[in-house]
Amino acid sequence: MVGADLPLPSMNVGEDSFRHQGLRRKLVDQLRKRGIGNVEVLNAIGKIPRHLFIDDSAFVEMAYADTAFPIPCGQTISQPWTVAFQTDLLQVGKGMKVLEIGTGSGYQTAVLCTLGAKVHSIERHRPLYLQTKERLLRMGHKAYTVHGDGFAGLTREAPFDRVLVTCGAPFVPKPLLEQLKPGGRLVIPVGEGAVQEMMLITKDERGTLFEEACGQFKFVPMLSERSFGV
């Protein structure tokens, strides 16, 4: 059972030591060398203690390796390079209203908040939603977290300046396109197999949509409505 309020491992609420900060600086250097040139995104990653988004404090080194990592409910915290790449594509400005699908650990949410966005983030696994809501609150990130189905978006808060999907979608859900403002950007990995194509979809002022393929990535799948809450 995934939808019920199962107990999760106790939350890592440890400190952010000089060692953590040093490891983080190395990670930012690595991302810069791998081609992330967006200084604001790099600064945000440099500020956020990623190790506190991983439940087991024994894995500090892993928290700052450029790799994905397991989190509860069989999900993963995205690889830092993927977070940087998606956030860069999104082009987030201060005060923008952003919809994120797949809250997971809340790390990507924290990056968006640090960039000054007003983030609404949807997670389908209730235990993860509950844990991450508390984590973000404790860290002082003012994100609006929702337990729900990302395929439907969030009608009551639409439209959004930006929409970011952090799980592999079988197709581009129509509600997400409808909930995007003219001038908006939607970043979504699309594909049903092991690999997805990162799609950037932009909507011009007249509402016309444009698509651009931006490379291949691996995400956990976006789970359909049918399996929602199971």
Q: Which residues are annotated as catalytic?
A: 78
CA distance 85 to 179: 23
Total Cβ atoms within 10 A of residue 82: 19
Binding mask 162-201 for ligand SAH (x = CB under 6 A): ----xx----------------------------------
CA angle (216 as vertex; 26, 30 as ends), nearest 5: 10
**Cα 196 to Cα 85: distance, rounded to the nearest angstrom:** 14
Query: Site mask, ligand SAH, residues 128-147, x = CB under 6 A?
Result: x-------------------
Determine if 12 is a binding residue for ligand SAH (CB under 6 A): no
Within residues 64-103, the interface with ligand SAH by CB under 6 A covers 75-78, 101-102
Contact between residue 45 and residue 28 where contact means Cβ atoms under 8 Å apart: yes
Which residues lie below 8 Å from residue 41, measured CB to CB, with a gap of 6+? 84, 87, 88, 111, 115
Q: With respect to ligand SAH, which residue has the nearer C-beta, 57 or 204?
A: 57
Pick between residue 117 and residue 122 the one whose CB is nearest to ligand SAH: 122
Residues that bind ligand SAH (CB under 6 A): 75-78, 101-102, 104-105, 107-108, 122-125, 128, 149-151, 166-167, 220, 222-223
